[in-house]
């Protein structure tokens, strides 16, 4: 999804999250994530460097506050790829943020996508599915829902939303 959005609209800035998990094959520090130790993540939290953060599937993820603030101050449309806990924190910190819920077409397709990647062991997939049930139940906390039927369609919809936000 992120790669598709970068291709569709390079003008939209995509926040690169910080994570305590190890890189997957092909991932590059600073491109997919900023990979940090647990101790560095703790230091970032203590300094207030993260707009939001959450624990997921045994690791922690967070959005660095500084780069986002710089882009928004410059009028650049920005996108955060975050989970439900992160979205709730963003809603508290930035009440006028537009929260977009990306939903699967249906449960069976979600399961197929998660298992089809082949990047995680069965216990991690199970935890992701359990989290997905909770997230799907919270859809009404978001401003807009997009059904992820195709990467291209969702990317175009996100670009339209981002452009409209900057224009207002």
Backbone angles phi, psi at 10, to 5 degrees: -65, -10
Distances, alpha carbon 114 to alpha carbons 58, 89, 97, 111, in Å: 17, 26, 29, 5
Predicted model pTM:
0.81
DSSP H or E segment with residue 117:
helix 107-117
Identify the pLDDT of residue 114: 87
Q: Are strands 78-79 and 13-14 parallel, antiparallel or unpaired?
A: parallel
Domains of the chain, residue spans: 2-167
Q: How many residues does the chain have?
A: 168
Identify the pLDDT of residue 68: 94
Would you tell me how many other CB atoms lie within 10 Å of the CB of residue 101? Answer: 18
Say whether domain 2-167 belongs to CATH 3.40.50.300.
yes
Identify the pLDDT of residue 56: 80
Identify the pLDDT of residue 1: 77
With a cut of 70, list the residues of the chain below it in pLDDT: 168
- Note the pLDDT tens digit of each residue in 85-133: 899 999 999 998 999 999 999 999 999 988 888 778 888 899 889 989 9
Identify the pLDDT of residue 142: 97
């Amino acid at each position: 999804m992120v790669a598709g959005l970068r291709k569709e609209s390079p003008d939209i800035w995509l926040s690169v999250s910080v994570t305590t998990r190890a890189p997957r094959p092909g991932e590059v520090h600073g491109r997919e994530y900023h990979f940090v130790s647990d101790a560095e993540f703790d230091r970032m939290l203590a300094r207030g460097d993260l707009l939001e953060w959450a624990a997921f599937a045994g690791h922690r993820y967070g959005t660095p506050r500084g780069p986002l603030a710089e882009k928004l101050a410059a009028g650049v449309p920005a996108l955060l790829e975050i989970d439900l806990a992160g979205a709730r924190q963003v809603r508290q910190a930035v009440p006028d943020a537009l929260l977009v819920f990306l939903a699967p077409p249906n449960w069976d397709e979600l399961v197929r996508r998660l298992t089809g990647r082949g990047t995680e062991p069965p216990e991690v997939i199970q935890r992701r599915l359990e989290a997905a049930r909770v997230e799907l139940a919270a859809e009404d906390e978001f401003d807009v829902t997009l059904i992820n039927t195709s990467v291209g369609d969702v990317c175009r919809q996100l670009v339209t939303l981002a452009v409209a936000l900057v224009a207002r």
